[in-house]
Structure 1
Amino acid sequence: MRILFIVGSFPALSETFILNQITGLIERGHEVDIYSLHRPKNTQKVHPDVENYRLLERTYYAPERATNAFVRLLQAGRLILVNSGKHPIALLRSLSRFNNRNQLKPIEWVYSTMPFLGKQPYDIIHCQFGVYALKGMILRDISAIQGKLVTSFRGFDISWYVQEYGEQVYNELFKKGDFFLSNCEYFRQRAINLGCDAKKIVVLGSGIDCERFFFKPRFPGSDGKVRITTTGRLVEKKGIAYSIRAVAQLAKTHPHIEYNIIGDGPLKTELQTLIEELNVSHQIKLLGWKHQQEIIEILDRTHIFVATSVTAQDGNQDAPVNTLKEAMAMGIPVIGTRHGGIPELIEDGVSGFLVPERDVETLAEKIVYLCDRPEIWQPMGQAGRAYVEQHYDTNKLNDQLVQIYEQLLINEDKNGVINPNFQEAIA
């Protein structure tokens, strides 16, 4: 199959779940192109697979736009003249697009169309995140691209974006899209409530490569320290301020606790200030961005993993986050919040604990409970590993993804209606 992935930014260190799908499809013999709507600002740190699979050779960006509006207009005119013979219909239709709240101006559609001029049709156009599917839908409408339109809802697109732009924002996409995926049942139900046909959406979790995350039973270290780790962007919905406050509560009675936070983001300065104000700089460290192998090395020394996601003021929510899956795959007992899709991942009291959002007291209690009972680390870690292997192994999920594509291509009748047995065929 010829498959086009439409993504927000590529390569992106924080989206290994998309990278795993791309490499998995290539390994299975499919031809994959990547259309990145934005050029990444920092490419100094990229996942090794980006180079191993030479993915930048498969990645396309719209031509860079001049900052000056008049110069940008001249550039667009030149692009039209030079490329008018490649796909005149797509260019003319791109110029007919009118500006509204969710669409680009006609001149911007000219830039967006350029990477596809002269390309062969695709079998599948897979848009990663609903917000990018809106652009993929229009690119298909103007005949810049051809293929079955598949959309993955993953988090902010079905939470914050809906709150920001209204519950009707995906109405047209739900009508025109061929099939939809969500990374948890929580977001599947939300899409259905917004108007998505329940027969056209299934859950396909975001996978991890379990072979890269080696299981190791957890035992107290010889130095007596209990090492706690969090991995995630330093943004409101990750709730990291609450885990900092919980560890700070325990600092005096449990001086052996060491808390490392991996990640970067707009709240870095605010969180560092909080750490200093609570006088726990000796126990809590912001480590910044790390690539996957560095994260694995830190997790290898970790005893407890914490992910305290919360619903942000703008409505942004998390699915079952991959950082939790990675920690569970390595045999680490985890603590997460009753938030979004996280309860679909953590079995409370089996592989870890679930606590209410923003509940510092309960979070601190669960941290102490695990710190004081190292004998339960190993059985919890084993349960977590088994659950991730069963439900989130990227190889199994990539096989299911190919099956979804294949069923989508063959199970459509002459009227363009999806076969009602479609979901059963891929279950």
Structure 2
Amino acid sequence: MPRPDITLTTSSTSACPRVGYVTKMYPRFSETFIVNEVRGLERRGVEIEIFSLRAPVDTRFHAALADVAAPVRYVPRATRTADAWSALASAHERLDLRALPAATLADLLAADPEDAVQALWVATAAHDAGLTHLHAHFGSVATTVARLAAAVLGIGFTFTAHAKDIFHESVDPADLRVKLADARAVVTVSDHNLRYLHDTYGPDADAVVRVYNGLDLDEYARAAAPRLPGRVCAVGRLVEKKGFGDLLDALALLVADGRDVHLDLVGSGPQEADLRGRAAALGLLRDGAERVTFHGPLPQDRVRDVVARAAVFAAPCVLGADGNRDGLPTVLLEAMALGTPVVSTPVTGIPEAVRDGATGRLVPPGDVPALAAAVGALLDDEQDAARLADGARALIEAEFDVVGTSRRLLDVLESAAAPAAEGRAA
């Protein structure tokens, strides 16, 4: 049952913007933060339609998707010249493209043809649905399309910048600068990101604000089940930035020290074969004495169970060779909410949640002995682990409850959408 303070009265919701959410791919198994965000806004009376630029490829989906009321529109991709002409004709019929400002027409002509066609499709569908604002997740292709579509309609757009879309070597700084400058507001998920964008892009980043990803704490109540002694867990895509190779090395050090430990590793990704090979080479997969379970991807309820039963949650994040890094992993927040003591690294926004000695333990990224020592110390000292878990839960309740984060995000969207009635969509 949703908490009563989430639901607004009819009079309060009448001024809410009608928002089109533009995503590269929806739903994605690893992007639960979008589902949490949409549900939080819908409870506040926001009408949302979701535009997905790519068809989903995941074979599993979280049960929480059933609570999302927003319809999903899968945006056609122009694979033939005829597709482009069809999108252009449909947009012209409804929107009278002859009235487009010269700058908007120039942007469309300069864009990648597929992006331009998808922008026209989104603009037409948003116009027909009476949407008053567009919001994109990640400052890459979804924001490219949202920016163009909003310009065609004469309405505002905003976007959420996470991590890969800010720090990865593939990011085009000039392109991101234009998006930051043109957006009515930009949300980012940590104070670290906020400082970086302000320091790097100066006045073009003046519209950036920080709104943390929120958790539904009705779903993430502190776990009461007994924890399994010696059980360590980690959750995430099996990619370099997660630092799971370091975690396997740390586990091997603990085993060599005579400890009875076991790692539950949840997730899939391109490094799976390498990580399995590494675990085998370290002697962690010997028959009858397996020290690691590779669970693959699991639905949210199963992930919660694994995390809730663990004695320690590890998120040994590192900076990838390509500049990729985690922003502030949602699963780390989930572990803290569930009361599982956490060990992580001071990468990007993580220290804003994991405050060393108060809400968890931080070790230098890539420092395997320090990681092993921190995990071992929490396994040994249940009293200290419980103290850190208490601090973590209190912080999550204060800063990361979706009740508060959705209120803050709605303030941003309402302010950004306010002038939309003067645009072409009116």
Q: Once structures 1 and 2 are overlaid, which stretch shifts more, 124-133 or 185-194?
A: 124-133
Note if 1:214 corresponds to 2:221. yes
Q: Note the residue ranges of structure 1 that are not aligned, 5 or more in a row.
A: 67-71, 415-427
TM-score between the two structures when normalised by the length of structure 2: 0.86
Q: In structure 1, how many angstroms separate the alpha carbons of the residues matched to 2:22 and 2:369?
A: 42
1:292-311 equivalences under 5 Å are 292-311=300-319
Note if 1:152 corresponds to 2:160. yes
Q: Secondary structure at the match of 2:174?
A: coil
Q: Secondary structure at the match of 2:175?
A: coil
Q: In structure 1, how many angstroms separate the alpha carbons of the residues matched to 2:202 and 2:317?
A: 26
Q: Paired residue for 1:63?
A: 76
TM-score between the two structures when normalised by the length of structure 1: 0.85
1:104-119 equivalences under 5 Å are 104-105=112-113, 109-117=116-124, 118-119=127-128
Q: Paired residue for 2:144?
A: 134
Of 347, 352, 362, the match for 2:360: 352
Q: Once structures 1 and 2 are overlaid, which stretch shifts more, 228-237 or 192-201?
A: 192-201
Q: Paired residue for 1:169?
A: 175
Aligned-residue offset at 1:311: 0.7
Aligned-residue offset at 1:75: 3.5
Q: Note the residue ranges of structure 2 that are not aligned, 5 or more in a row.
A: 1-16
Q: In structure 1, how many angstroms separate the alpha carbons of the residues matched to 2:327 and 2:171?
A: 20
Q: Secondary structure at the match of 1:234?
A: coil
Q: Paired residue for 1:27?
A: 43
Q: In structure 2, how many angstroms separate the alpha carbons of the residues matched to 1:213 and 1:335?
A: 19
Of 196, 199, 209, the match for 1:193: 199
Q: Secondary structure at the match of 2:93?
A: coil
Q: Paired residue for 2:325?
A: 317
Q: Paired residue for 2:407?
A: 399
Q: Paired residue for 2:6?
A: none
C-alpha change, 1:22 and 1:165, in structure 2 (3 Å) is: closer
Of 328, 344, 364, the match for 1:336: 344
Aligned-residue offset at 1:295: 0.5
Q: Which amino acid aligns with 1:332?
A: T
Aligned-residue offset at 1:405: 2.3
Q: Paired residue for 2:132?
A: 123
Of 243, 246, 252, the match for 2:247: 243
Q: Paired residue for 2:282?
A: 278
Of 39, 53, 59, the match for 1:37: 53
Cα shift readout 1:363-408 (whole Å, capped 9, x = no counterpart): 0111111121122222111111001111111111101111222334
Q: Secondary structure at the match of 1:19?
A: helix
Q: Secondary structure at the match of 1:126?
A: strand
- Once superposed, what is the RMSD of the aligned Cα atoms? 2.5
Aligned-residue offset at 1:251: 1.2
Q: In structure 2, how many angstroms separate the alpha carbons of the residues matched to 1:108 and 1:201?
A: 24
Q: Paired residue for 2:29?
A: 13
* Contact 2:339/2:389 (<8 A) preserved: yes
Q: In structure 2, how many angstroms separate the alpha carbons of the residues matched to 1:253 and 1:60?
A: 54
Q: Paired residue for 2:185?
A: 179
Of 18, 35, 51, the match for 1:2: 18
Aligned-residue offset at 1:95: 9.5
Q: In structure 2, how many angstroms separate the alpha carbons of the residues matched to 1:23 and 1:271?
A: 35
Aligned-residue offset at 1:54: 4.4
Q: In structure 2, how many angstroms separate the alpha carbons of the residues matched to 1:411 and 1:199?
A: 18
Q: In structure 2, how many angstroms separate the alpha carbons of the residues matched to 1:226 and 1:84?
A: 64
Aligned-residue offset at 1:5: 1.1
Q: In structure 2, how many angstroms separate the alpha carbons of the residues matched to 1:376 and 1:136?
A: 48
Q: Once structures 1 and 2 are overlaid, which stretch shifts more, 164-173 or 382-391?
A: 164-173
* Contact 1:348/1:354 (<8 A) preserved: yes
Q: Paired residue for 2:257?
A: 253
- Which 4+ runs in 1 deviate beyond 4 A? 78-84, 90-96, 217-221, 409-412
Aligned-residue offset at 1:169: 2.8
Q: Which amino acid aligns with 1:252?
A: A
Q: In structure 2, how many angstroms separate the alpha carbons of the residues matched to 1:232 and 1:340?
A: 17
Q: Paired residue for 1:369?
A: 377
Q: Which amino acid aligns with 2:74?
A: Y
Q: Paired residue for 1:388?
A: 396
C-alpha change, 1:254 and 1:9, in structure 2 (3 Å) is: farther
C-alpha change, 1:251 and 1:187, in structure 2 (3 Å) is: same
